[in-house]
Amino acid sequence: MSSIANPHKSRTVIDDATTQVTVLTGFLGAGKTTIILNLLKRVGPDYKIVLLKNEFGDAQTDSALARESHVQVTEMTNGCLCCVLVGQMKRALLEMKEMYRPDRIIVETSGSAFPAPIAWQIREMEDSDFHLDAILTVVDCINFCGYEDTSYTARLQAQYTDLIILNKWEHVSERQLDIVIDHVNDLNTDTPKIRADPDTGIAPEMAFGLDTRLFSL
């Protein structure tokens, strides 16, 4: 059976005024939003998180919302906030920091997004009290072997990440799961891979505080 590594990364001491940013990517239907919702349920009530759903270039983006405002804010689980982003990433991050003073911002990319442009924008803001903590990739174990062969983006998402979250693994056989892990390892041997619990997802300590070295300026 293919092995799944545990994430062990060194931590950098970050000033209390710095807002941590986690970028979550994954192909369409991988289960990114479910992973995030479960994470939000498991953080403490005093830890404030803002979720930015990145809709750049998405045909389903609400055009009326785009005309009125580039950020829509709605309440979410455990007092966290969800903001649908339809404009400049930097501007949205600065507004969210000013309005809500969050401890962390999670950016959920669209399924077709390569995280590099977003990561570079966040890197450029590290002098403005932002810190790119990690890029996480959700892999759909049911469908990955199919779209990995046809989607360049899916391969890039699996290669440029700090943590690979194997989702929906409970719906495939052990043999099928081994094949998925082998395919992922062919793309990225060194990055830790963990299984998302079908009911509770992943623990915050597995996703937060990874202190990425990817896309450094």
pLDDT digits (tens, 9 = 90+) for 42-90: 998 889 998 888 654 343 433 433 444 445 555 555 666 667 665 577 8
- Over 60: is that where the pLDDT of 154 sits? yes
Whether 214 is covered by a domain: the verdict is no
Whether 213 is covered by a domain: the verdict is no
Using CA atoms, how far apart are residues 168 and 166, in angstroms rounded to an integer? 7
Taking residue 105's Cβ as centre, other Cβ atoms within 10 Å add up to 25
Whether 31 is covered by a domain: the verdict is yes
Whether 7 is covered by a domain: the verdict is no
Q: What is the mean pLDDT of residues 193-215?
A: 93
- Identify the pLDDT of residue 77: 57
- Identify the pLDDT of residue 164: 98
Whether 10 is covered by a domain: the verdict is no
C-alpha 64, offset from chain centre: 27
Q: Which tens digits make up the pLDDT trace of 120-133? A: 889 999 988 999 99
Q: What is the mean pLDDT of residues 148-152?
A: 73
Domain of 60, in residue numbers: 19-207
Whether 2 is covered by a domain: the verdict is no
Domain of residue 105, CATH code:
3.40.50.300
User: For residue 186, what are the contacts with CB-CB under 8 A and spacing of at least 6?
Assistant: none
- Identify the pLDDT of residue 80: 67
Q: What is the mean pLDDT of residues 104-125?
A: 87
Whether this model's pTM surpasses 0.85:
no
What total of structural domains would you count in the chain? Answer: 1
Taking residue 175's Cβ as centre, other Cβ atoms within 10 Å add up to 8
- Identify the pLDDT of residue 217: 53
Q: What is the mean pLDDT of residues 84-104?
A: 83
